[in-house]
Amino acid sequence: MATKIPVTVITGFLGSGKTSLIRHLLQNNQGRRIAVLVNEFGELGIDGELLKSCQICPEDGESNIFELTNGCLCCTVQEEFFPTMLELIKRRDSIDCIIIETSGLALPKPLVKAFRWQEIRNAATVDAVITVVDCAAVAAGTFASDLEAIAAQRQADDSLEHETPLQELFEDQLACADLVVLNKTDLVDRETQGRVEEFIKQELPRVVKIVASDGGKLDASILLGFEAAVEDNLDSRPSHHDSEEDHDHDEEITSTHLILDRTFDPEKLQLQLQTLAQQQEIYRIKGFVAVPNKPMRLVMQGVGTRFDKFYDRPWQPEELRQTRLVFIGRDLKYSEIESQLVAL
């Protein structure tokens, strides 16, 4: 096993903080040569580009960030994942470990099963599956399977009835975990955090450590080096899809993107995006914003109506100062999104 490349799978729902966790890991790699596979949901490579801007990746030469954009990774392991892994295996002498960031819609178990394929098995092993959980979202009753605990909220909000497939996905991501990162704990009080931790413990099929985090700022020693060989003990990680040959995601969950050759005032844009999130069933908004008279690129990320933003790097001289946003949700009305932002 010591000769195999250790692979860490980072899973978690939309907006849980997977990219922030990996970005911090890259910036604090303690000398490790880390390759990253990013499974985007949508056509714009926002997460991959955000990782490349961590100032660790070389500006010239071969990048260690690989973007897989042709759909959910657990559904496209042969088409997308397999050839990329073979290329990484060829470079094993220059790689210490691999991080795979799945899309928020991906089931971890089908991906881990791919490590049983002979071409991969002899060269790589799944060191651990790490599930990132948005503490504030769970505290609000989102993506939870305990229907009695959130019955009152369901009666008040009919839209929660549509979350059942997402709850199953949340449960599957927890069931496969070797470590649960309880992220965004800064948004709740200690009592609420304790309730969320107890809820997660009840969902876990076995004893798994839960680590609290604010913005994914965790030491590499916590995230790497499990040596769990996950592909060899999948029987202890139950899934809602174990009896199915293939799985179907909720077909209504889609993404759309908007590219505008203009600048925005960040506060006004955030207010407009929050309005859109209330008008439509938008789960996630993420992207880059060009701000007037600012040499830095603004990263804006939203989960529902909750947003955060920061400047990640200067605009490059050859780079178009565009505002690029990805929207993920149900029955998205692109024309309304576009018209409201253009009007702004």
Q: Which residue has the tokens 């999948």?
A: 234
Specify the DSSP class assigned to residue 322: -
Helix (H), strand (E), coil (C) string for 304-317: CCEEEEEEEEECCC
Percent with pLDDT over 90 in the chain = 41
DSSP codes joined into one string, 29-64: -TT--EEEEEE-SSSS-HHHHHHHTTS-S-SSS--S
pLDDT at residue 98, rounded to an integer: 95
pLDDT at residue 337, rounded to an integer: 94
Residue 303 tokens, joined: 């989960």
Q: What is the rounded average pLDDT of the residues 314-327?
A: 91
Q: How confident is the model at residue 48 (pLDDT cuts 50, 70, 90)?
A: low
Ramachandran category for residue 93: left, alpha or beta (phi over 0 → left; psi -120 to 50 → alpha):
alpha
pLDDT at residue 151, rounded to an integer: 43
Q: Where are the alpha helices (DSSP H) in the chain?
A: 18-27, 46-52, 82-90, 108-113, 118-121, 135-139, 151-156, 164-175, 190-203, 220-223, 266-279, 334-343
pLDDT at residue 41, rounded to an integer: 57
From CA 124, how far away is CA 90, in angstroms rounded? 11
pLDDT digits (tens, 9 = 90+) for 88-147: 898 888 899 999 998 777 788 888 998 998 889 999 999 999 999 999 888 887 653 333
pLDDT at residue 228, rounded to an integer: 94
Q: Which residue has the tokens 């881990």?
A: 112
Give 75's strand partners.
Answer: none
From CA 239, how far away is CA 244, in angstroms rounded? 10
User: Which long-range contacts does 57-64 make (Cβ < 8 Å, 24+ apart)?
Assistant: 57/26, 64/33, 64/34, 64/35, 64/36, 64/95
pLDDT at residue 15, rounded to an integer: 77
From CA 158, how far away is CA 160, in angstroms rounded? 5
pTM exceeding 0.85: no
pLDDT of 340 above 90:
yes
Q: Angle 38-41-47 (CA atoms, 0-180°, nearest 5)?
A: 45
The amino acid that residue 77 corresponds to is V
From CA 245, how far away is CA 175, in angstroms rounded? 19
pLDDT at residue 159, rounded to an integer: 35
